[in-house]
Structure 1
């Protein structure tokens, strides 16, 4: 029995962290049997996200952005002025094309060949349209022409007046208002000079900024075109590199396949072990109940027979001892013995285990316990017999339950290894499927249609790069001349400002030192001459200034209003797309090989939104990347093989037929039919009705009270005989009764629940044996389903990454849109804005020279001595001596 329990525990403990309940745990509540809880898939588990390299294409077009500047308020003012000058919208509907398609370009190139075209060119309708559109610039050209003619003519007139001493001379009379007029002129000339100084400073800064931006801006044109060509040329290599990245999910899937079978086996074992171990523990408890019940039944049978035999041996000795004690106590010589005589009469046998199954009459029964009419007799209850039960259990157990449990436990614990063995072939097939999938993925690169369709775009970009170089060199040369002319003329303006400031300073100082307005003062005269020098320089160079202002204004203003303003709102693309606005040789749609139903505007929008090159190019057959990147066409075989896989993980036999027969025999043996209560009732009766130790102590007490030594000796002898009977016979029977009581108590607890427990154990074992294969298959399907979904996520991640990378990087059309946006930033934000700010600032200087001339000429007279009307002749200009004040003579 202990050996069986230990073996069963050792067998279960081989794979279970918590051993099953022991043989005596049958009264504890048993866990309810049910199906294993389904395992939950964990899509967010570590390693579920693949990592691809961030850099894919080596050729990139970095996006440029407008950088905020402290001159932004000036740029905004210039733009608003240009918006006032040019208010006409860009004629995207083809105004040049109404009646004279492309006549502007034909007129410019002198290619009016056909008679109708010559007639339209002679009518000048396109020219009239151009003049109407450029009306603001025509007005500005007229103003510039007027300024160019009028200022030099005014300068010659001023020189003539100076030669006639009529301009810039002296004041002829002193008035009280001269001081106020002088201060007003000084203030106006100072303010005008300050405005000119601020403007020329802005002109210097913006001119230098144009020079600093022009060289890198012009160099960015061929560089960007070359980068676009390289981007198109590197598309096949980039596509192949993206396809080669299939190695990332392939390695991850192969790694997952390496641990799939053991993971599935361990999951099956983990989810079913609670149910299986509970059934094994229950079976172990029933085997223990069988062994223990058989053991206790044998104890009951042997102990009852031993007690009956001992009672038969004790009965004559006890009868003899009773008669001798009663005779001794009845002896008249025995003093005070009557008190113990009653106990001596009760000295007779108690419990009787020899009358099994029948009633018995005992002549030693006390009168008060005898049945009515049967004086001197006592009816003993029947003690049930277990011999029939032992005969039914004879030869049990016929099977080795410990070995049976150990084998079932071992079979169940071998499920992980069995799963590895059964799934080896499907793992190998799945790896072969991955190799075939890699070939399918390679077809993305092999079937990518771009190389044949990007050649026209590459050739157009190469031609644009070659044709742009002479124009860029001319623009760079023109910019160098502009910078030199602007620097020289700004320096002249600074010289004029220096003359004005020096003249005002010397003149004001001379006025402060002159006591008499008619006194000659050399510093005031020098200040006047400095002002006249500034006036002369202004007359001399004003026409050059206005020519430079108009030239830069005409170029920069038209770039801003015709190009930049319409580039921002994308109207310029509509203008280019409209037939007739550009000559046929500049058909951008055909040169870039765009789709037949596309144009530059739609191509730009598609590229800006992240479309691929294949979506905007003119392909003979449409190429749908999304169709090529659908996951099922790459995962169908992989998914089908996992979905169709089934594996027989073997039958786990927990209870063989002989073991089942043993338990059924045990349940039918009648262990539960024995009336163990009668045993317990009989065991309440003592072996001897009167306590032998108590009677012996009474006799010893009477011995001390006797005066007759013979009686005293006999009492002592009887007391010793009673003690000897108690120690030699009665105590051994009491030990047997105690042993019998333990066995009866165990059997009485087990018997009421025996059949139900055995039935439940047999049902549980049969249910577990039937459900284990089904549950294992269910968990297998579930685990394979989780694995399939996990691996499909790897495929989906890779294919999504491929689509995103091809669209946004490797075969992206976005570099074209980025290049166009970069061109706008370079031309408009970095070159045109400071360019326009330059002519605006220089124009302010030029136009403020007119009030500067006027205020300087008017202020010159105030710095010279005032002439009195009574003074006679003398040059008002050249008289170096002091002219005394003339007063009236007395007659």
Structure 2
């Protein structure tokens, strides 16, 4: 019952701290994440005996052989219920204890026979009735028997020595572990205080994280312009922005088209003037050459032939273009100017502004509803604070802290007495082991002296001093055994019976939890309570709360709320109704009415402007005519080639005015080519490129405008018909995000309180320290080990005596 009461005391600790516990939270950029900080405890979860644990396992195997019967659950239940009748059911106890009883009987026989045999032996020796005769008879197997008995005695002595060594080790191990008791107790009490003191801070921390959650939610509510309005804007952007961008590009194209037309028209006028100047210059050169060919020398052969050739080639000195036939672009330019009277760029910017004002419109229209949602969130915070106040923590903690202090004071007051008594026990054990060591030393010395001093030819009366000394050592060893070992066997029997039963009835069933299963038997500890633990905790014995389940949960470091099933006392789920709070916030978001209608991307003036541009005639210009003319050479013949040819022909003429005049005209042609033809070619090439660009821009102008207007109508229709669904969708997403913060927080609060706060592993560790470590590992294992080895050792003491009689008998 002491074990039961101790366990209930620890459970009372758990009950008093059941609603407590600390947590930690980390806030991410978009998602709130919460985490309960881990609590570090000093006491180790498991006890390891180290190398000596192998000996403990050997003892457990020996106990299993001595006591192989199953744990007597029925007998223990009847004893706890005070229904066990020893007079009629003693056979069950005897059957269970038969192995230990046999060992105890053997020990008692040893206790009884050892002094009796010693007394008889002493009387016999005193009366000279025992011992060898004063002569020897040699036998054929005498040498073999002597060696056999010597080796047998040596093996038995070695076996006894091993037992003595185990005795020294166990005695020292027990003293060492008892010295660790204070540290173990302090460590457990410190862990329990950590549990008690840390739990309120955990609860406060968990509840304080609501401020973090609310801060994040308020931040999102204050940023509804960018979050909700921006979300709506982003949903509409793929449909709207390309249309506005195309209209904006078309407005820029109109301006660029006008500039290109004006530049082209101006360039055409300049080209026409340049062509006229070139034609005049070529006419002057041609006239000068014709005048020079009127020289009388041209009538004299062979000069006449050269002059005729030159006269025939003069027809190539002429303009090769007909730019005058190219139509003027004034009409198209006037049409474009009419289009530009309407500022399409400004109209597009108004469309951009109307569309980009959606976030601002959302913010302006949701001011009141956001205030209502914030009030709802503040009310949730008040409910959470009330939950923290309703959980019974501080009062019971302060009461139980007194129990811990009193228990710790009691242990510290009595622990010195325990340590003092243990020092006496250690000294007594040391003396016992030393006496046993002395006996074995006598045996070893007797064997050594008897073996070394033996002379088969010497008679008993003439044996050497060494041989006689060996006999004396053996006799002294046996005498000390007779005088002392029966007292030691008395101690061994008592420790073995008590320790063996504690090991089999307490330690083993505690480790395999059968002890808890017995305590969980309905109506066992209280005939009116089905479940004793639930009756103690909740005053309701019908709740299925068992010792084994509580111990297992604490061993797994579960929270006290789940371990003790405290929902039967304070149901956190009812007071922290996540769905109810989420529904309240959701109702507020359902009242969110955002109206962003009347968004006009482009008004009628802008539409007409586009249509006017498509009918401006820019796309109907015959650009091929311009390209054909610009692709021609300015002159019919290459003036440089013509000038070189003219000069070459002049070189064949005799000296005179004709030759000089032709060379002068050749030089004039070169100047015309350099000053007029080359710039004209460059201008015509540039103009040709401009015409191509203008042709490319104006190509399919009507189709482009029609496509833009069609896209504009489609986007405008989308805004009218689908914007409401987009608003609903984004509002729901926005609301779910804000609600999600609180759902995640409230769910975390529920999980923390029910599963993490006040994790009761220190309770299970304290119980393990008291039973499994201190009682079983520190005390019972060393005691049972010593008694088991000594029990087996002393059961062979009679064999030692016999061997001694045989070895020292003078007849052998």
What is the match of residue 168 of structure 1?
131
| Change in CA separation of 1:740 and 1:512 when aligned onto 2, cut-off 3 Å | closer
Which stretch shows the higher mean deviation, 722-731 or 811-820? Answer: 722-731
Determine the C-alpha separation between the residues in 1 that align with 2:642 and 2:310. 8
Q: How far is 1:564 from its partner?
A: 1.6
Q: How far is 1:295 from its partner?
A: 0.9
Determine the C-alpha separation between the residues in 1 that align with 2:682 and 2:198. 103
Determine the C-alpha separation between the residues in 2 that align with 1:507 and 1:307. 149
Which stretch shows the higher mean deviation, 229-238 or 591-600? Answer: 229-238
Determine the C-alpha separation between the residues in 1 that align with 2:109 and 2:668. 165
What is the match of residue 833 of structure 1?
781
- Structure 1 residue 536 corresponds to structure 2 residue 479: yes
Choose from 148, 152, 157 the match for 1:188. Answer: 152
| Change in CA separation of 1:217 and 1:102 when aligned onto 2, cut-off 3 Å | farther
**What are the superposed Cα offsets for residues 322-347 of structure 1, whole Å, 9 maximum, x if unpaired?**
89969986999855255555567899
What is the match of residue 208 of structure 1?
172
Q: Which has the higher helix share?
A: 2
Unaligned runs of 5+ in 1: 1-42, 105-119, 357-382, 868-891
Determine the C-alpha separation between the residues in 2 that align with 1:219 and 1:734. 107
TM-score (structure 1 length as normaliser): 0.68
What is the match of residue 89 of structure 1?
70
Determine the C-alpha separation between the residues in 1 that align with 2:604 and 2:257. 16
CA contact (8 A) 1:152 1:539 kept: yes
CA contact (8 A) 2:369 2:591 kept: no
What is the match of residue 559 of structure 1?
502
Q: How far is 1:212 from its partner?
A: 2.8
CA contact (8 A) 1:268 1:779 kept: yes
| Change in CA separation of 1:472 and 1:433 when aligned onto 2, cut-off 3 Å | same
Choose from 137, 141, 145 the match for 2:100. Answer: 137
Determine the C-alpha separation between the residues in 2 that align with 1:222 and 1:339. 133
- Structure 1 residue 858 corresponds to structure 2 residue 806: yes
| Change in CA separation of 1:677 and 1:501 when aligned onto 2, cut-off 3 Å | closer
> 1:766-785 to 2 correspondence within 5 Å?
none
Q: How far is 1:294 from its partner?
A: 3.8
**Backbone CA RMSD of aligned residues:** 5.9
- Structure 1 residue 824 corresponds to structure 2 residue 787: no
What is the match of residue 54 of structure 1?
37
What is the match of residue 498 of structure 1?
441
Determine the C-alpha separation between the residues in 2 that align with 1:705 and 1:173. 171
Choose from 156, 166, 173 the match for 2:119. Answer: 156
Which stretch shows the higher mean deviation, 818-827 or 243-252? Answer: 243-252
Q: How far is 1:536 from its partner?
A: 1.6
TM-score (structure 2 length as normaliser): 0.74
Determine the C-alpha separation between the residues in 2 that align with 1:729 and 1:155. 153
Determine the C-alpha separation between the residues in 1 that align with 2:652 and 2:178. 148
> 1:392-403 to 2 correspondence within 5 Å?
392-393=335-336, 395-400=338-343
> 1:460-859 to 2 correspondence within 5 Å?
482-511=425-454, 515=458, 517-578=460-521, 589=533, 590-591=535-536, 593=538, 596=542, 597-615=544-562, 617=564, 621=568, 623-625=570-572, 632-633=579-580, 635=582, 658=605, 660-678=607-625, 747-763=694-710, 798=745, 802-803=749-750, 805-807=752-754, 810-822=757-769, 823-859=771-807
Unaligned runs of 5+ in 2: 1-25
Q: How far is 1:199 from its partner?
A: 0.5
What is the match of residue 255 of structure 2?
288
| Change in CA separation of 1:606 and 1:661 when aligned onto 2, cut-off 3 Å | same
What is the match of residue 877 of structure 1?
none
Larger radius of gyration: 1
CA contact (8 A) 2:452 2:467 kept: yes
Determine the C-alpha separation between the residues in 2 that align with 1:530 and 1:727. 145
Q: How far is 1:847 from its partner?
A: 2.1
Local SS of the residue matching 1:555: helix
Choose from 194, 197, 212 the match for 2:161. Answer: 197
> 1:109-508 to 2 correspondence within 5 Å?
124-176=87-139, 177-214=141-178, 216-217=180-181, 231=195, 235-236=199-200, 238-250=202-214, 272=237, 275=242, 278-279=245-246, 282-296=249-263, 298-299=265-266, 334-335=299-300, 336=304, 338-339=308-309, 384=327, 386=329, 388-390=331-333, 392-393=335-336, 395-400=338-343, 435-448=378-391, 482-508=425-451
Q: How far is 1:563 from its partner?
A: 1.2
Determine the C-alpha separation between the residues in 2 that align with 1:710 and 1:511. 168
Which stretch shows the higher mean deviation, 793-802 or 279-288? Answer: 793-802
| Change in CA separation of 1:487 and 1:251 when aligned onto 2, cut-off 3 Å | farther
Determine the C-alpha separation between the residues in 2 that align with 1:314 and 1:236. 109
Local SS of the residue matching 1:563: helix
Q: How far is 1:820 from its partner?
A: 3.3
Determine the C-alpha separation between the residues in 2 that align with 1:139 and 1:723. 144
Which stretch shows the higher mean deviation, 608-617 or 839-848? Answer: 608-617
Determine the C-alpha separation between the residues in 2 that align with 1:727 and 1:173. 158
Determine the C-alpha separation between the residues in 2 that align with 1:240 and 1:413. 45
Q: How far is 1:551 from its partner?
A: 0.8
| Change in CA separation of 1:141 and 1:340 when aligned onto 2, cut-off 3 Å | closer
